[in-house]
Amino acid sequence: MVLTFSKQFIFVPLSFFCFVLILSSCSARKEHSLFNAPSDTVTDTIKQVYVVNDQGISDGYYKIKVSDQLAIRNVQNKEFGAGNQVIGATSIGSSTGNTLSGNINNALSYPVDLDGQVNLPAIGKVNVLGLTRRAAALKIQELYAKQLLRDPIIELSIVNLKVTLLGEFSRQGNFLIERENTTLIEIIGEAGGINKTADPKTLKIIRGDRTHPEIIYVNLNDINSLASKKLILQNNDIIVLQQTKGSALSEKLNSFNSIIQPLLVVVNLGVLIFTLTR
């Protein structure tokens, strides 16, 4: 009789609370998500790519800004002159040029000053503010050709460009954008993919002005979404991926169980004592 009474006492509240938790699965996921926006409600119905506060496609080519770090090297073919030359105080000293092997990743970097200029060896200050990487490389190439090097081929990279991955990725954190036109899928691959608990329909990219950002929602389930030019990453993009509703609900249930189980033990003990003392 004790067991029957106890089961009935437990069954009613548990079934009630489970029903409430199922109804609140959406709110459970929202509690675990970062940088919530009113437009996040589209994630359950989005088919491919949906953009809020669209800033146009002019951001497809990055423009150099103040404090960018520029790595520059001369990649002219050896048969036409010197080999790969890293542009730096130790690599350029005469018209023939002292060579230093290596790639853009180990090149010296030069900051863009507040006035938009970068101070380079031998040629001095060059205004690069607002130029694309290609335009800046061509401008620097012409200056070195006039003043120092024979037929240079200048390669320019911005070494401090990064994006931030948060949420249901195998690895979170900051990732450098080392190549022109790096895509969302390339960065996800570099992060090791997404977790089993991730909801592929909920990925969003927060871009641009932080007070009035462009928000790009992506459904990773649809291969057609990969064709969008919006998935070419820009400096300081924040990429957020939420967990599934089921995973969020499971976490909430586990948290709820950790609280309710001790209470149930106390209730059962009280029922047992009450029954035995009747």
* Domains along the chain with CATH numbers: 32-60+161-245 (3.10.560.10), 69-158 (3.30.1950.10)
Quote the mean pLDDT of the chain.
Answer: 79
Burial of 28 (0-12, 13-18, 19+ CB in 10 A): buried
Maximum mean pLDDT: which of 47-61, 75-89, 163-177: 163-177
Higher pLDDT, 253 or 195: 195
Give me the torsion for CA of 205, 178, 74, 145, rounded to 10°.
Answer: 10
How far, in Å, CA of 180 to CA of 192, rounded? Answer: 21
Kindly report, residue by residue over 179-199, the tens digit of the pLDDT: 878 999 999 999 999 999 999
| Cα dihedral 208, 210, 211, 212 sign | positive
Q: How confident is the model at residue 15, as a pLDDT?
A: 52
Task: Specify which of 35-44, 63-72, 162-171 reaches the highest per-range mean pLDDT.
Answer: 162-171
- Residue 177 above 50 pLDDT? yes
Whether the pTM exceeds 0.75: the reply is no
13: its two tokens: 């509240």
Cα separation, 227 vs 49, in Å, equals: 10
DSSP class of 198: B
Q: What is the pLDDT of residue 202?
A: 94
The alpha carbon torsion through 12, 16, 19, 20 (nearest 10 deg) reads: -160
How far apart are alpha carbons 267 and 275 in whole angstroms?
12
Whole-angstrom distance, CA of residue 23 vs CA of residue 273: 36
Cα 268 to Cα 259: distance, rounded to the nearest angstrom: 15
pLDDT at 5: 43
How does strand 214-218 pair with strand 203-207? antiparallel
For 64-93, what is the mean pLDDT?
Answer: 66
More confident residue, 156 or 258: 156
Of 4-18, 47-61, 209-223, which range is least confident? 4-18
Mean pLDDT of 14-19: 50
Of 197 and 98, which is predicted with more confidence? 197
What is the predicted pLDDT for the residue at 94?
A: 34
What's the pLDDT at 170? 97
The share of the chain scoring above pLDDT 70, in percent, equals 71
Which pLDDT score is estimated for 30? 59
- Residue 12: what pLDDT? 44
Q: What is the pLDDT of residues 223-248, one digit of tens each?
A: 999 999 999 998 899 999 999 887 65
- What is the predicted pLDDT for the residue at 101? 32
pLDDT, residue 81, reads: 41
pLDDT band with cut points at 50, 70 and 90 for residue 3: very low
Phi, psi for residue 114 in degrees, rounded to 5: -60, -25
- Measured distance CA(13)–CA(145) in Å, rounded: 81
CA distances from 249 to 35, 125, 238, 243, 259 (A): 20, 58, 25, 10, 15
* Between 40 and 109, residue with greater pLDDT: 109
Helical segments of the chain, H only = 2-23, 25-32, 133-147, 184-190, 245-276
Average pLDDT of the residues in 158-176: 95
3-state DSSP helix/strand/coil % of the chain, to nearest 5 = 40, 20, 40
- Determine the Cα–Cα distance for residues 25 and 247; give it in Å rounded to an integer: 9
Q: For the residues 165-182, what does the mean pLDDT come to?
A: 92
Residue 73 contacts residue 85 (beta carbons within 8 Å): yes
> Is residue 96 within a helix (H) or strand (E), and if so which, with residue range?
none
DSSP states of 21-77 as a string?
Answer: HHHTHHHHHHHH-SS--GGGGGGGT--SEEEES---SGGGS-B--TT-EEEEEE---
Least confident range of 172-181, 184-193, 212-221, 254-263:
254-263
